[in-house]
């Protein structure tokens, strides 16, 4: 099969190679998927760059966690009825796995493979793994959001956009922070009722005015450390903060008592190793949303051929993308 791989970490242009590898065979509880679309997420490029490792140390890595395609082989323990099924998947190159989705085929445990509804393209399917599931868990892990007020920071990011769409589908009143007019339009398109430019406006003041001093029930943050200075001032009693990144400050100091006195729960999490039950719940929840909101935007930033995977990784690193960058093997 054609595949892209790296044998040492570093800049995409220095380490990503393209060539031919043996096509894998499905083992116990695995399916083999012919990949039509591979999603490139920030964590994929951080792993390739050597900025994070999860303790992996492989001789060769096929990058990218997410993808979509068609099951063409099943291993022992998996029903043959699944052959020919259109699917989306995540955790390709994760959790001790070296071989991800930047290849014509992948073999992976069925736990990470979900049927793709007919109206969703393979390219769109490859946006659902990390962005869709992270967004789903951020929004719903603390229970129903119906009638709740939620602030989502970075509402135009890949995860933030899906979190905004899902929260609004779930009946929440959603406020988003963004960094400019174009991103504001995207967050509004996803279903935000109002947006705050966190670069030019006082977030706490704007939230206070919008909520008439009551604050928010939930905060979903893309930058826990960056949001800390105003965080507790906008949270209601018994509210929750769901945090999936903190790139501007990886070791933030926080005022424990201000969280404790208001019973503010903090939920930092990493999608790939959540308990299987939570992952199942997120996969079926995302599919329910796809069916109930078939016309929702599933943003694709740009598509690349496998030969152009270096550019695809560089686009993710540029921080200028809207949606998920796709590679078509
Ligand atoms: N924990 C997990 O399981 C998990 C899962 C998925 C992603 N992540 C991490 O989450 C981060 C975002 O991923 P993504 O795929 O959504 O990336 P993305 O598509 O590049 O979006 C990130 C968005 O966040 C915005 N942003 C950054 N800092 C912000 C701040 N302080 N306040 C408000 N907005 C801010 C960015 O816009 P501006 O810079 O223009 O504001 C951008 O729109 C990455 O670090 C990724 O590794 C973690």
Model confidence over 27-50: pLDDT tens digits? 999 999 999 999 999 999 999 999
Q: Among candidates 246, 266, 247, which has minimal Cα distance to 256?
A: 266
| Distances 12 to 103, 234, 282, 308, 310 between C-alpha atoms, Å | 16, 40, 31, 11, 5
pLDDT above 80: residue 56:
no
Domain boundaries, the chain: 2-127+298-328, 131-272
CA gap 235, 20 in Å, rounded = 53
Give me ligand 1 centre to Cα 154, in Å.
6
Two structure tokens written together for 171: 């009946």
Same fold, 2-127+298-328 and 131-272: yes
> What's the confidence (pLDDT) of residue 248?
96
Looking at CATH, the fold of the domain delimited by 131-272 is given as: Quinone Oxidoreductase; Chain A, domain 1 (3.90.180)
High-pLDDT (> 90) share of the chain, %: 97
> What's the confidence (pLDDT) of residue 312?
98
- Specify the ligand 1 atom closest to the Cα of 159: 16
- Specify the ligand 1 atom closest to the Cα of 227: 31
DSSP output for 112-161? GEEEPPTTS-HHHHTTIIIIIHHHHHHHHTTS--TT-EEEEESTTSHHHH
10 Å CB burial of residue 144 (0-12, 13-18, 19+) is: exposed
CA gap 163, 169 in Å, rounded = 10
Give me ligand 1 centre to Cα 19, in Å.
32
- Specify the ligand 1 atom closest to the Cα of 180: 40
Query: Atom 9 (ligand 1): residue with closest C-alpha?
Result: 245
Give me ligand 1 centre to Cα 288, in Å.
25
Lowest mean pLDDT among 50-64, 185-199, 279-293: 50-64
Q: Among candidates 131, 135, 205, which has minimal Cα distance to 167?
A: 135
Q: Among candidates 211, 241, 208, which has minimal Cα distance to 224?
A: 241
Could you report the per-residue pLDDT of 269-299, keeping only the tens digit for each? 999 999 999 999 999 999 999 999 999 999 9
Helix (H, G, I), strand (E, B) or coil at 288: helix
Looking at residues 153-175, what average pLDDT do you find? 98
Query: Atom 15 (ligand 1): residue with closest C-alpha?
Result: 158
Pairing of strands 30-40, 324-328: antiparallel
> What's the confidence (pLDDT) of residue 291?
98
Query: Does residue 3 contact residue 19 with C-beta atoms inside 8 Å?
Result: yes
pLDDT above 90: residue 301:
yes
- Specify the ligand 1 atom closest to the Cα of 316: 20
Neighbours of 216 (CB within 10 A): 24
CA gap 162, 282 in Å, rounded = 13
Give me ligand 1 centre to Cα 77, in Å.
38
CATH class as words, domain 2-127+298-328: alpha beta
Query: Does residue 66 contact residue 126 with C-beta atoms inside 8 Å?
Result: yes
- The ligand 1 site (C-beta within 6 Å) comprises 41-43, 130-131, 134, 153-154, 156-160, 177, 179, 183, 198, 222-223, 226, 244-245, 247-248, 269-271, 319, 321
Query: Does residue 111 contact residue 129 with C-beta atoms inside 8 Å?
Result: no
> What's the confidence (pLDDT) of residue 319?
80
Two structure tokens written together for 170: 């779930």
At 57, the pLDDT band (50, 70, 90 cuts) reads: confident
Give me ligand 1 centre to Cα 73, in Å.
36
pLDDT above 80: residue 55:
no
Give me ligand 1 centre to Cα 155, in Å.
9
């Amino acid at each position: 099969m054609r595949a892209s791989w790296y044998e040492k970490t570093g800049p995409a242009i220095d380490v990503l190679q393209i060539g031919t590898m043996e096509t894998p065979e499905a083992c116990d509880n695995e399916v083999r998927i012919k990949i039509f679309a591979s999603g490139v997420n920030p964590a994929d490029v951080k792993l390739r760059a050597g900025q994070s490792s999860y303790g992996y140390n492989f001789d060769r890595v096929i990058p990218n966690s997410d993808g979509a395609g068609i099951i063409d082989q099943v291993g022992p323990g998996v029903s043959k009825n699944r052959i020919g099924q259109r699917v989306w998947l995540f955790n390709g190159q994760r959790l001790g796995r070296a071989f991800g989705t930047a290849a014509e085929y992948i073999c992976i445990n069925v736990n990470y493979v979900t049927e793709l509804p007919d109206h969703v393209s393979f390219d769109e399917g490859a946006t659902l793994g990390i962005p869709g599931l992270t967004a789903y868990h951020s929004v719903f892990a603390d229970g129903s959001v119906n009638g709740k007020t939620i602030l989502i920071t970075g509402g135009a990011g890949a995860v933030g956009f899906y979190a905004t769409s899902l929260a609004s589908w779930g009946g929440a009143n959603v406020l988003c922070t963004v960094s400019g007019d174009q991103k504001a339009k995207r967050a509004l398109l996803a279903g935000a009722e109002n947006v705050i430019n966190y670069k030019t406006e006082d977030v706490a003041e704007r939230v206070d005015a919008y909520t008439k001093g009551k604050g928010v029930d939930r905060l979903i943050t893309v930058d826990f450390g960056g949001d800390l200075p105003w965080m507790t001032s906008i949270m209601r009693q018994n509210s929750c903060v769901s945090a999936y990144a903190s790139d501007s400050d990886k070791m933030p100091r926080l005022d424990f008592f201000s969280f404790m006195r208001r019973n503010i729960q903090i939920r930092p999490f990493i999608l790939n190793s959540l308990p299987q039950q939570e992952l199942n719940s997120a996969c079926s929840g995302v599919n329910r949303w796809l069916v109930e909101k078939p016309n929702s935007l599933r943003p694709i930033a740009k598509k690349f051929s496998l030969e152009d995977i270096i550019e695809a990784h560089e686009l993710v690193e540029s921080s200028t993308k809207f949606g998920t960058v796709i590679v078509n093997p």
